[in-house]
Amino acid sequence: MEKTLRLGLNLPMFVAATIAIATGTLVGMLGIWTAAAWGRPVPEWEKVGHAHTSWWSVLILIAAMVLPSLQLKSWAKKLIIAGTFIGPTVWIGVLATYYEIGGPAIWRLEYPALPGTYYELPLIGVIAAVLELLGFVALGIVGLSASGINLPVISAKEPSKSKYDFLSDIEVPRRIFLIPTLVIAFSVIVGIAINAVFKVFHQPISPAALVQLHDHTALLASSSMLILIMMSALRVRASIQNLGYRLMQIALPLTVVGLLAFNLAGLPSIVWVIPAGIYYLLILLAIPAAMGIYSQSGVESQTNEVKPSTAFRIALTVCFAGLAILIGVGAFIALTWNTSPDVTVTYKQPEGAPYPGPYPEVYLGTAPVKGTPRGLENAHLSPGSWYHVGISWLLILSVFGASIYGTKRIGLLYLYAVTIPLAPTFNMLGRFLAWLGIPNGIGALWFAGHPLKGFNLISLFIAALIVTYLISRRKTT
């Protein structure tokens, strides 16, 4: 098997990712807008559903970029695409059904031997777990195959061809996928364990920082893959790509070990912040790479007749600069407030209380412990996640935008190059203004960030559907 694969785009999987993003975004926006309108704390399922579905969508976008080059049988690729459609989006629908349409009561039956008592059927939890597991297996197969691992039964000698696939002339090293895939798999296993041990038995998560062991490892792994793909797409010099790979190779395993030590041995938070700081160097390396400082001279892609590379380089630079700020904020929170493994990113779990436990007397939002600036934690989480979605979109549009939209609509691509990075930037601005106590400062998020995000989501989804339909009408030879 070759050491590289060609960067591509599978349109149906892009549509699946857009649906997942839209679903997660809708749940998050409902949470924040209803909290503003009625003053209610955002339900735990909305927070988890919003975060999980949105981040699954980033992985689906990465998978869409490598699926066309994978040496998998046609039926296997179709099942993978189906898994990405069904998994995350239907999973959050099951959560909504459980918590909002009748709640647990609709799954409770009277216990016949003890009149007046009830027991709860675990069916809904099993369905949700199976659905999310389906998405995980689909994306896990993509990650392992992209890494160059030959999978029995489903592997093929050559990549199967589909009329919905686009291919570029950009070569991406296979080695960049293995470590992130293994780290994300570890993260998912930790998440499953948290569900099985704590939620099923209605116990508070202890130590509470197991949540960080679950989510931070997956987020850093996904981010690292995106950066290294970006370096290939922008023709960054091989020496810089090798440096980026080495940073990822060191940072991800050590961050896992550090978070294990933080959780299990109760060591200070610096044991995992320092390894995460190595990953932070990768973010800092991505900024000049996006600007074109490390580009190979005299090498240009011949994928498209017209490509607004300068506009997309600026857009990517804005996204990585924003991430540099927000990830730095996360490290500051971890070293200043979140220094004990006994607190979560929401609040300390009370002993003996049903999971997730009652809210404190004074609701702190997503502050990790009492006294933590709420706006800092919100800024670290929300726009940081959305910047990764934006980077994924920008990479796809910079390489395949002209092929998808046609060179006559190149102005639309320039519009995306402006609106995609602006959405999370206004999100970040609103969070910081709210933290600073500026009156109505959060309006930058509500009245600029959210509309821009909605425009990007809806227009990209409609365009992808139209292009998919037009391709389906073509006669295959």
With respect to residue 119, please indicate whether it lies within any of the assigned structural domains. yes
> What's the pLDDT score for residue 106?
54
CA–CA separation, 264 and 50 (whole Å): 28
With respect to residue 85, please indicate whether it lies within any of the assigned structural domains. yes
Into how many domains does the chain fold? 1
Domain hosting residue 48, numbered range: 1-173
Contact assessment for residue 24 and residue 53, using Cβ atoms and an 8 Å cutoff: yes
pLDDT level of residue 113 (50, 70, 90 thresholds): low
Give me 95's structure tokens: 């959560």
With respect to residue 130, please indicate whether it lies within any of the assigned structural domains. yes
Contact assessment for residue 368 and residue 360, using Cβ atoms and an 8 Å cutoff: no
Contact assessment for residue 168 and residue 199, using Cβ atoms and an 8 Å cutoff: no
Give me 214's structure tokens: 């679950």
> What's the pLDDT score for residue 382?
87
> What's the pLDDT score for residue 161?
87
With respect to residue 96, please indicate whether it lies within any of the assigned structural domains. yes
**Confidence check: pLDDT of 373 > 50:** yes
- Over range 439-446, report the average pLDDT: 88
Give me 114's structure tokens: 């003890």
With respect to residue 124, please indicate whether it lies within any of the assigned structural domains. yes
With respect to residue 243, please indicate whether it lies within any of the assigned structural domains. no
pLDDT level of residue 101 (50, 70, 90 thresholds): low
- The model carries a pTM of 0.89
- Over range 279-289, report the average pLDDT: 97
With respect to residue 206, please indicate whether it lies within any of the assigned structural domains. no
CA–CA separation, 74 and 65 (whole Å): 16
- Over range 64-91, report the average pLDDT: 92
- Listed in sequence order, the residues at least 6 apart from 277 whose beta carbon sits closer than 8 Å to its beta carbon are 331
> What's the pLDDT score for residue 112?
55
With respect to residue 23, please indicate whether it lies within any of the assigned structural domains. yes
